[in-house]
Amino acid sequence: MIYVIATIEVKPGKRDAFLAEFHRNVPNVLAEKGCIEYGPTVDVKTEIKAQIPLRQDVVTIVEKWDSLQALQAHLVAPHMPVYRERVKEIVVGTKLQILEPK
């Protein structure tokens, strides 16, 4: 099993528009072979001192896949280029952390 933390920076004020497009694609991804979990999250304000500063223009995607091969297949699944095309004018950049439990 692997985990993916995808940090997506969007243009200022475009987080809600990005989330709307992202949610349109979630059912497609959840139907993929090997997808265990896939969903967007946003920073929440707390008083916890170790927390990084709030990021209003960032969406963090939390994913769980049964294998690296399943993740690789996801990246080239037919619905992903369609999704990327819909958000290309909104997204500034994407960073991935691919992790395994120990």
Domain boundaries, the chain: 2-43+53-99
Mean per-residue pLDDT, 71-87: 97
Mean per-residue pLDDT, 10-21: 98
Task: Identify the pLDDT of residue 9.
Answer: 98
Q: Is CATH 3.30.70.100 the classification given to domain 2-43+53-99?
A: yes
Distance CA 30, CA 37 (A): 7
What predicted TM-score, i.e. pTM, was given to this entire model? 0.93
Mean per-residue pLDDT, 39-53: 96
pLDDT class of 28 with cuts at 50, 70, 90: very high
What percentage of the chain exceeds 90 in pLDDT? 100
Strand order of the β-sheet with 91-99 is: 35-41, 58-65, 2-10, 91-99
